[in-house]
Amino acid sequence: MAAGDPRLAGKVALITGGASGLGRVGAERFAAEGARVVIADVADPEVADAAVEAVAASGGEVSYVHCDVSDSDAVAAAVEHTVSTFGGLDVLYNNAGVMIGDDDDPVATPLETYERTMDINVRGVLLGCRHAIPAMLAGRGGSIINVASFVAHMGAATPQIAYTASKGAVLAMTREIAVIYARRGIRANALCPGPIMTPMLAKFLSDDAKRQRRLVHIPMGRFGNPEEIANGALFLASDESSWMTGQSLIIDGGITAAYVTPE
């Protein structure tokens, strides 16, 4: 890649959960840097159409495929769609995830909430890797970006046992995948955001007291914005991170670097 060239020129990226939130911002950023992007999501048609239009406006080629990441056949079809549409697969961005409202402590959290969280956040990542890796091995190798969280490294300020457990599993899985495929041209890294002001977080922080409870733990004194996470994903997707695998890229405003006495 010559200086000044788009950072993802010639690459094909599959982004799960790419129709909204962090996924959509990432899709737009990838497209602006030259990637051909497939958005895989369960979004309503109008949301999917808006995402496709936004990504196309960023300057890249884009396609949408309806995909429930907890369904193996659906994920396999999404990978097949990516390869048939754009000729290969270079970047898998496992971004799809859920944080369910009644996720609480180990005693109070409904088992259904735990199971649904694990189905999307962990099984979804596994299935993405299961179906994308053969396509990457058949091509030029590639980069897998699995979205974990800063809570994979430390306990959350507010109890959310299912979410925290799921993100810890994603981090461990990423390390294992990285080791298995390190000599076969595939890199795998975990992207670990701190609290980012997306619609998913906003619904949990519906009043100032709840927001301040989170902000007290962030040394930089503010929530992150989606573009800051997209920049981290872009680095992991690009050849700039070519000697980086099995790692955790934490973008959290300093939370994991600080010692804060619990309230």
Average of per-residue pLDDT values in the chain: 93
Would you list the domain boundaries of the chain?
12-196+226-247
> Which pLDDT tens digit goes with each residue over 64-90?
999 999 999 999 999 999 999 999 999
> Which pLDDT tens digit goes with each residue over 127-155?
999 999 999 999 999 999 999 999 999 98
Distance from C-alpha of 162 to C-alpha of 198, rounded to nearest angstrom: 20
pLDDT at 188 > cutoff 90:
yes
Catalytic residues: 163
Average pLDDT over residues 106-115: 98
> Which pLDDT tens digit goes with each residue over 31-71?
999 999 999 999 999 999 999 999 999 988 999 999 999 99
pLDDT at 262 > cutoff 50:
no
Distance from C-alpha of 186 to C-alpha of 46, rounded to nearest angstrom: 35
Helix (H, G, I), strand (E, B) or coil at 159: coil
> Which pLDDT tens digit goes with each residue over 149-161?
999 999 887 899 9
Distance from C-alpha of 119 to C-alpha of 152, rounded to nearest angstrom: 17
| Residue whose token pair is 């890229």 | 249
First to last CA, the chain: 50
Q: What pTM does this model have? A: 0.94
% of the chain beyond a pLDDT of 70 = 92
pLDDT of residue 5: 86
| Residue whose token pair is 């929530």 | 223
Q: Tell me, which fold does domain 12-196+226-247 have in CATH?
A: Rossmann fold (3.40.50)
pLDDT tier at 216, thresholds 50, 70, 90: confident
CB-hemisphere CA count at 13 Å for 121?
27
pLDDT tier at 210, thresholds 50, 70, 90: low
Distance from C-alpha of 229 to C-alpha of 74, rounded to nearest angstrom: 27
pLDDT of residue 81: 98
